[in-house]
C-alpha cells in the first residue's frame, strides 16, 4: 500500500497528549459556535481524538487558528471544534457537532476508504479538504442533516492508482450517498488531479450517489462551483431528486428521479444512460444552462482569500505547484480569471 509522505516540517515537534485549558471566554465577538469551553495549546498532537475526548456539547478551540495539528486517529463526535488541522493517511470522521475553520488533509491510498466521513447532524463551514488519498475527500453515507457552508475542495490524487486499490468505484471530492436533508452551500472545487486507474469512475467533483429507493432526498447544492475539472454529478441505480441552484461547472447525471437545475450553467451537460427529467432547466449534450438568463455567481471572498488556505494548500502541507499554487493571485481572482 502506498503511504503518503508529508513535509518534514510537520514532524519536528510533537506531543503525546492533547492538553487543554478550560475557559469561559469567547474566541471572538459573534463566534457562531458560542464561547470556547476548551482551548488546545498550539502544537502537534499524535493522540487519538474520539467522542470521549471532550464533554458533549462543549466547544473546543485551537489556541491560534490553524496552529494546532492532530496527526492521530480522529473521530470527533458530540462537540464543536474550531481552528484545527487534521492530517494523516487514515480515514477521519466528524459527527453531531459544528466544525469550522478546519483543514482535513490526506487519506488512504487504497480501497473503499475516504479522507473524512460526516455523520448525522453535522455542520462544516469555512473549512478545506485536500491532500493525497481517499476515494472521497468527504462522504456522508446513509445519514441526515449534514450541512456544508463555505467549503473548499481540491482533489490531489493518490488514491486507486492500481487495480488492486481502486475497487472500480467512483472517485470524487464530495458524495452525499443515500443521505437526506443535507446541503452544500458555497462549496468550491479547484484544480482536481485524479490519478486513479481509468477503470474507476473518475468523477472528481461534487455530487450525489443513490442506490436505494427512499433514503436519498432533500439534497441541495447552492451558490457553488466546480472549476477546471470535476463534475456536479448524480449517479446510482436508486432514486433521488437533488436540487442544483446557482451553480457553475460541468454536469453528469444518471439517476431515476427529477434533477433540478435553477440559475445554473455548465460547459458540458451529459446523461450517462438517457434523458434525465428536468425542472426549469435545459439538459443536453454540449453547453447547457437553466432557462432564461443566468445570474452571476457571488463568491465569498473573505473566506476564499484567507491567507491560511494558500499557506496550507500551496506550501506547508502540499507539494502542489500547479494551478492556483503556480499563480500569484488571491483565490477569488484566480477563479475569476
Q: What is the pLDDT of residues 198-257, one digit of tens each?
A: 878 777 799 999 999 999 999 999 999 998 777 898 888 899 999 989 999 888 888 888
Three cell numbers written together for 124: 462544516
Three cell numbers written together for 228: 477546471
Measure the CA–CA gap between 109 and 1, rounded to whole angstroms: 7
Q: Are residues 145 and 48 in the same domain?
A: no
Q: Are residues 273 and 145 in the same domain?
A: yes
With b meaning 16 or more CB within 10 Å and e meaning fewer, what string describes 265-289? bbeebbbeeeebebeebebeeeebb
Q: Is residue 189 part of a domain?
A: yes
Domain boundary (69, 87, 105) is at 87
246 within 8 A of 272, measured Cβ to Cβ: no
Q: Are residues 96 and 43 in the same domain?
A: no
Q: Are residues 70 and 125 in the same domain?
A: no
Q: Are residues 289 and 208 in the same domain?
A: yes
Output the pLDDT for position 100.
Answer: 98
Q: Are residues 68 and 212 in the same domain?
A: no
Q: Are residues 27 and 145 in the same domain?
A: no
Whether the predicted pLDDT of 284 surpasses 70: no
CATH of the domain at 140: 2.160.20
What phi and psi values does residue 184 have, to the nearest 5 degrees? -135, 105
Residue listed under C-alpha cell 470521549:
52
Q: Is residue 294 part of a domain?
A: yes
Residue 3 — very low, low, confident or very high, per pLDDT cuts 50/70/90?
A: very low
Measure the CA–CA gap between 39 and 274, rounded to whole angstroms: 53
Q: Are residues 216 and 240 in the same domain?
A: yes
Whether the predicted pLDDT of 95 surpasses 60: yes
Structural domain of residue 22, as residue ranges? 15-87
Q: What is the pLDDT of residues 36-56, one digit of tens each?
A: 999 999 999 999 999 999 999
Q: Is residue 6 part of a domain?
A: no
pLDDT mean over 153-179: 90
Q: Is residue 7 part of a domain?
A: no
Q: Is residue 9 part of a domain?
A: no
Total domains present in the chain: 2
Q: Are residues 177 and 292 in the same domain?
A: yes
Q: Are residues 193 and 317 in the same domain?
A: yes
Q: Are residues 147 and 290 in the same domain?
A: yes
Domain boundary (36, 70, 87) is at 87
Q: Is residue 8 part of a domain?
A: no
Per the prediction, the chain carries an average pLDDT of: 84
Output the pLDDT for position 293.
Answer: 59
Sheet holding 75-77, edge to edge: 75-77, 92-95, 116-118, 136-141, 172-177, 206-209, 231-239, 250-256, 269-271
Q: Is residue 75 part of a domain?
A: yes
Q: Is residue 65 part of a domain?
A: yes
The DSSP code for 29 is T
Would the pTM count as exceeding 0.85? yes
Domain boundary (87, 112, 144) is at 87
pLDDT mean over 91-120: 96
Q: Are residues 128 and 276 in the same domain?
A: yes
Amino acid at each position: 500500500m502506498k503511504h503518503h509522505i508529508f513535509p518534514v516540517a510537520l514532524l519536528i515537534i510533537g506531543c503525546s497528549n492533547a492538553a487543554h485549558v478550560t475557559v469561559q471566554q469567547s474566541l471572538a465577538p459573534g463566534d457562531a459556535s458560542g464561547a470556547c469551553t476548551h482551548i488546545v495549546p498550539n502544537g502537534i498532537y499524535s493522540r487519538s481524538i474520539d467522542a470521549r475526548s471532550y464533554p458533549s456539547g462543549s466547544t473546543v478551540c485551537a489556541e491560534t487558528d490553524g496552529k494546532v495539528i492532530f496527526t492521530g486517529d480522529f473521530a470527533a463526535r458530540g462537540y464543536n471544534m474550531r481552528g484545527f488541522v487534521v492530517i494523516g493517511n487514515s480515514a477521519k470522521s466528524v459527527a453531531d457537532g459544528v466544525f469550522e475553520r478546519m483543514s482535513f488533509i490526506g487519506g488512504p491510498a487504497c480501497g473503499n476508504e475516504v479522507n473524512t466521513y460526516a455523520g448525522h447532524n453535522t455542520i462544516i463551514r469555512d473549512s478545506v479538504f485536500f491532500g493525497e488519498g481517499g476515494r472521497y475527500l468527504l462522504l456522508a453515507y446513509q445519514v441526515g442533516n449534514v450541512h456544508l457552508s463555505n467549503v473548499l475542495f481540491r482533489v490531489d490524487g493518490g488514491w486507486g492508482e492500481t487495480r488492486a486499490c481502486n475497487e472500480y468505484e467512483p472517485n470524487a471530492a464530495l458524495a452525499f450517498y443515500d443521505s437526506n436533508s443535507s446541503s452544500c452551500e458555497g462549496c468550491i472545487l479547484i484544480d482536481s488531479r485524479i490519478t486513479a486507474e481509468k477503470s474507476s469512475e473518475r468523477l472528481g467533483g461534487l455530487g450525489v450517489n443513490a442506490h436505494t429507493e427512499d433514503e436519498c432526498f432533500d439534497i441541495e447544492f447552492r451558490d457553488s462551483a466546480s472549476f477546471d475539472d470535476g463534475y456536479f454529478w448524480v449517479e446510482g441505480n436508486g432514486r433521488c431528486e437533488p436540487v442544483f441552484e446557482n451553480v457553475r461547472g460541468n454536469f453528469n447525471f444518471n439517476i431515476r428521479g427529477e434533477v433540478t437545475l435553477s440559475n445554473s450553467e455548465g460547459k458540458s451537460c451529459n446523461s450517462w444512460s438517457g434523458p434525465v427529467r428536468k425542472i426549469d432547466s435545459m439538459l443536453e449534450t454540449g453547453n447547457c444552462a437553466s432557462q432564461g438568463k443566468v445570474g452571476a455567481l457571488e463568491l465569498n471572498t473573505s473566506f476564499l482569500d484567507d491567507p491560511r488556505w494558500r499557506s496550507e494548500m500551496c506550501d506547508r502541507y502540499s507539494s502542489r505547484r500547479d494551478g492556483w499554487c503556480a499563480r500569484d493571485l488571491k483565490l477569488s481572482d484566480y477563479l475569476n480569471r
